[in-house]
Amino acid sequence: MIKCSATAAPAARPTSDPTPELFQAIAELDSAEEAERFLRDLCTIQELQSLSARWQVARLLDQGMHYHDIVELTGASTATISRVNTWLRFGTGGYRRMLQRWNDARL
């Protein structure tokens, strides 16, 4: 019979935001293969699909595609498209920087 200890200490809660550490870990990845392996371990399939859909929408908006056409092509909701477009226009510049790198690498 297995006994459970009533005096076991509760799991420690993080005392600080771990987000910067996640960003640093991502920045240290060396290749698309490493990124794939890390993100597949880190994220659920649904989370990966959501992230991938937003990146696809960002690329299509950057190419000048209209909302209706993006909905038809991707199945993304207009709310998602609008949210991505807002971040493209008024965000922190992350989408813009990655789109520039993406486009430069494919010229």
**Calpha distance 2→96 (Å, rounded):** 56
What per-residue confidence (pLDDT) applies to 10?
Answer: 61
Report domain extents, the chain.
33-105
pTM for this structure? 0.80
Please, which residues have CB within 8 angstroms of residue 82's CB and are 6 or more apart in sequence?
67
Contacts of 50 (CB under 8 A, 6+ apart): none
Chain centroid offset of residue 33 CA: 16
| Spans in the chain with pLDDT lower than 50 | none
Question: Tell me: the pLDDT tens digits for 19-50?
Answer: 999 999 999 999 999 999 999 999 999 999 99
Q: What is the CATH number of domain 33-105?
A: 1.10.1270.10
Residue-wise burial string across 90-99, b where 16 or more C-beta atoms lie within 10 A, e elsewhere: eeeeebeeeb
